[in-house]
Structure 1
Amino acid sequence: MKKTLTEQYFDFSQLDSEKFIKATKETLYMTAISMFFVIIIGLLLGLLLYYLGKSKDNKTAKVFYNVISVVSNICRSVPFIILIILLIPITKSLIGSFLGPKAAILPLVISAAPFFARLVEMAFREVDSGVLEASDAMGANRLQVIFKVLIPESMPALISGATVTTITMIGFTAMAGAISAGGLGDLAYREGFTGNKPTVTLFATIGILIIVFIIQGIGDFAVKRTDKR
């Protein structure tokens, strides 16, 4: 007898709570570790792009800016699933395997760091030039300008950019599941789709959505708390 859609998608006998919890932890692990590196690399790269962009009259700065921009655009433009495959030899040499959550971190960082760096650059460019000129007039050095003016003044935009990047990262972890990277994406594809268990696919999707909503909520709250306007 053919099952109805309700029976197919809400057959709770298909669910294994231990596997679901393990997959959720793997998704959170990949996202958290990758975002740690993405934020550090993205901030440094965005800061470099910002200062090189301000010095475009300098030919050397212009060349470096263009080179970094091209590399950044290439990394952002390559589809994530293809990037994972391209990086398999490097991942295997570094990790010892191209399977599992740890193996997914390298392609996740390489794909997301340039994206976040562009958001950082745009956030710094939105800082009021009058504030920067005032800090220069008061004799602030480069580090003081960065840590006491640029970053604090652009904090809402930086948090918003980090939130968007984190949510994008969660989507990437789901795609990484197609090549056994683990996480909810892997559970949805291998156990749900390949194993013909629609309930598993549905609840893995719901799990991803819940994580996204929580991160978006935290990000929105943090933006409101740091926005001085």
Structure 2
Amino acid sequence: MTTRMAEPIRTFRHFRDVPQNIWRWKDFSPAEIACRGTGQLKLHPEALDKLQALRDRLGKPLIVRSAYRSPVHNASLKGAAPRSKHMDGTAFDIAMANHDPVVFEKAAREVGFLGFGYYPRSGFMHIDLGPARSWGEKFPVRPVPFAPEAPPAREALAESRTLKGTGAAGVATIGAAGVEVAQDVLAEAQGAILPLVPYLDTLRYVLIALALAGLAIVIYARLDDWQKGHR
């Protein structure tokens, strides 16, 4: 049985120094994970794998408030733990603005995070690789869970009666205008094409009728939608 060797933990002076070919976490960028104060980045593959797994499980963006912190930056923050896991690159503070904290915590535990800190007043939850522990006052349970992120049902553009009517009216109007231009041009070339001129009047009236029909379709569709509550 072969044992997979742990990937090395690497530190970069600045997140711009991270080679593109080693960054495999598709929903995050080095800038998001780097130290907010210095731009330094400690790349911890195991922690980032779990963060990506959490993102995949939840199916929603994770707003990273804080990830890696350099020792200098960590020391400058009021209330930061002197031995914070952020300095190891194994901790993340994630905003709860777009997440149900209960669902988020459950998913985070399932992918392997062990340490949890609750900061409801600041609107984020701390997660790290452990040891297993928790602190802070938990987020209050939301009376109404987040609704599924599905786009509202709308009439397909290609099937929209309003667009069909508007398109027909537009085409017919442009066509009628084009006929007038063509009529003027043909009138100047009476010699060869004079027999065609009388038919252009008829064509123009046909296209105008088509335009009026298209507008009638638009008005009918709007009234029908209004009656059905599709405003």
Query: Per the shorter chain, which TM-score range?
Result: under 0.3
Which structure's residues are more often helix, by fraction? 1
Which structure's residues are more often strand, by fraction? 2
Length-normalised TM-score, structure 1: 0.22
Length-normalised TM-score, structure 2: 0.22
* Bigger relative CO (Cα 8 Å, ≥ 6 apart): 1
